[in-house]
Structures are given as C-alpha cells and as structure tokens.
Amino acid sequence: MGSRGNGNATGPGGGPAVDKGVDFANYFCTYAYLYHQKEMLSDRVRMDAYYNAVFQNKHHFRDKVVLDVGTGSGILAIWSAQAGAKKVYAVEATKMAEHARELVKGNSVEDVVEVIEGSIEDITLPEKVDVIISEWMGYFLLRESMFDSVICARDRWLKPNGVMYPSHARMWVAPIRTGLGDQKMDDFEHAMSDWYNFIDETESHYGVNMNVLTKAYREEHEKYYLKTSLWSNLHPDQVIGTAAIIKEIDCLTATVEEIRNVAAQFTIPINMDRTRLSGYAGWFDVHFRGSTHNLAIQEIELTTAPSTNGGTHWGQQVFMLHPPFRVNEGDKVMISFTMSRSKENHRLMDVEFTCELQQSSGKRLPPVTSKISIE
C-alpha cells in the first residue's frame, strides 16, 4: 500500500519513454511521506477489504511466498506474514521502505518479511512467488498507471498457478446531478472578470495592453475549471440513472496494451423525473476471488461507488457537462466513451464523452462531446 507506479526508462508495452528522474520527482516522492500513508491507512473501506481478503483466505498465504508490490508502510506484507506466509518480499520504490522495515521489525515479522527498496522493474528476486498482493488502484482505477508495474511483477515473478490480490477489477460510469458544475463555472467567470480588470489596470497604469494574452489565459482557465475532472464523494441519491460497466479486468491475464486505451459505447436509462443531468461519475471496484484453479474461500469486494457512509479516499471522478441537460424519467443517454493516457504525463488520463439524449417522446437532441482531463 505504497508508491504506485512504473520506473521504466523505456515505455512499458511499447509506449513512449519515461524519464525516471522526472517520474520519481513528480510521482513517487508523494508516497515517501507518512502523512500520505496515514490518509490511505485511515480509509476503513479500503483497509477492511484487504484485511478480510487476506485473513478470510489464509489458505492462499499459508506456507506460501508472497510479493507485495509498492508496499508503502508494509502493512499488506505484515498481514501476509501473520496469515502464515513463509516468505514475503515487500518492494517499495521510495524511502518509505525505511519506515516499512521499522514497522516489520516492530511487529516481529522480520524473519519472514524482507523489504526491498527499488522499483519492481529493476529489482531481482531469488525465487518465483505464489501470490502477488498490491494496492495499485488510482482515481477511476487507472490514473497513476501503477497497474503496469503489477503486470510487470506478474509476468516476471508469479508462478503459473499463482494468485493475484486483487484478482479482478471493473470501471463504472453513471449519470449524476450535482451543483459542482455551477460552482466551477462561477469560479471560471470570476477568474475571467479578474483578468479583464487586470488588463485595464495594466494599460492605464503602465501603458501596456495585455489583451493579446486573453485567448491563452481563457484556455488555461477553461482547462483548469471546466475541462478537468473533479474529485467528489457523491451520495447515491445524486445518481440519476443506471450505472454501466465500461471495463472489466482480469488481473491474471491483463496486458498493458489492454489498459492503455479504454473505449466503450453504452446506453443509460434515466430513472429520476424532472432533474438535471450535470455530468457523469466514474468509479471502480476490485474483487478478491483467487484464480480458476485456486478459488477464494470468501470472495471480498472493495467498491468506491457513491455511498451513504462517506465512501473512500478515492471518491468518484466527476466529469461535468457545460451546460447541463434537463432530463426526465424514461429518457435515455447514449454515450461513446474513450480514455487514454496523457501525452504529457503517462500517469494522467484524457477522457472523451460524446453523449446523445433521446427523450421519452422519441426526440433526439444533437450529440455533445466533452474532453476532460484526469489530473
């Protein structure tokens, strides 16, 4: 449960090359701080799912060799040892590895757990493993691209009949109502008003007309306020239509190429009358099922769906429509969805929604396309 990511200098799965130094500075360093680990360790939904998955399926760990990818504080490695593993390799790319060693020793499992500082792409293990456990999920599942590293670990070190924890993942999209879009539009308009005041004052005080930069300033702030997804923990009542699964992943067989681009076409019926389609929410769930040859005794699910209990630290990614639609029960939204990695930063995502509203009367509104970044 630690640093998420890929340390490759060459692009994984044939992608563009990644500068390891820049990647480390931009990404890994965040996970080297205890405050960040504490935030994740305080997520009870997350913690309970992994705890139950391990301790209700001890047969997967007893007398087995385990690899924890991105161990962070080391808690998954410690649980694996407590569940009976004979050896645990806990790999961590940041200096958090030093804290993990202290925690391992403090919990008297240092004879089982070996903490290795380094990226999973670069380290070498002395043996193959029976289990790979990792908390690799980013916002809307694939942000951060850490699953690349888990795939690398699986292909290098997992035995043919080995087990992945988690074993499966799904991505979901649903239509929502929320006031977040109005708030962001107000913020954008305030920023532009402030810019125009700045132009007037700069010209009157200093004799320089800044207006030639207005287009660039507007584009910059449109991206920040209107074209970037928002984090939220939504209430289930804010979901106004049936959620759709847009991607299913088998962690034993998935490839980097398979997750590099996600595309789906689906139709969502609206089930709430006289409301506003403000945009879409994206979330994920993961499952601990074991494998076909070695099933879990107790299957565990970890979901980040809208919840009445405050949800998880992942929350949901909200993709706003500007302007929103008025919708009624019985209307249908036909959606074409794509998500790909940002060309500027392979850990971030570019999302495109094209939606067409078919009203219950049969009338179809013109399709609307929204391009939104997950940053």
Residues acting as catalytic residues: 135, 144
Give me the residues paired with residue 250 across strands.
Answer: 168
In angstroms, how far is CA 74 from the centroid of its own chain? 21
Residue 82 to residue 112: CA distance in whole angstroms: 9
Strand 261-269: give its sheet, edge to edge: 261-269, 332-341, 349-358, 368-374
d(CA 65, CA 133): 11
Burial class (CB in 10 A: 0-12, 13-18, 19+), 117: middle
Q: What is the DSSP string of 21-42?
A: HHHHHHTGGGGGSHHHHHHHHT
Please answer whether residues 220 and 122 qualify as being in contact, where contact means their C-beta atoms are separated by less than 8 angstroms: no
Whole-angstrom distance, CA of residue 302 vs CA of residue 284: 9
Contact 353/244 with Cβ under 8 angstroms? no
d(CA 163, CA 134) in angstroms, rounded, equals: 12
Residue 48 CA to residue 299 CA, distance in Å, equals 13
Q: List CB contacts of 204: < 8 A, sequence separation 6 or more.
A: none
Local structure of residue 224 (DSSP, 8 states): H
C-beta separation of 171 from 247 below 8 A: yes
User: With contact defined as beta carbons under 8 Å apart, do 134 and 111 qualify?
Assistant: no
- What number of residues does the chain have? 375
Contact 162, 96 (CB under 8 A): no
Q: Can you tell me the distance from the alpha carbon of 337 to that of 298, in angstroms, rounded to the nearest whole number?
A: 34
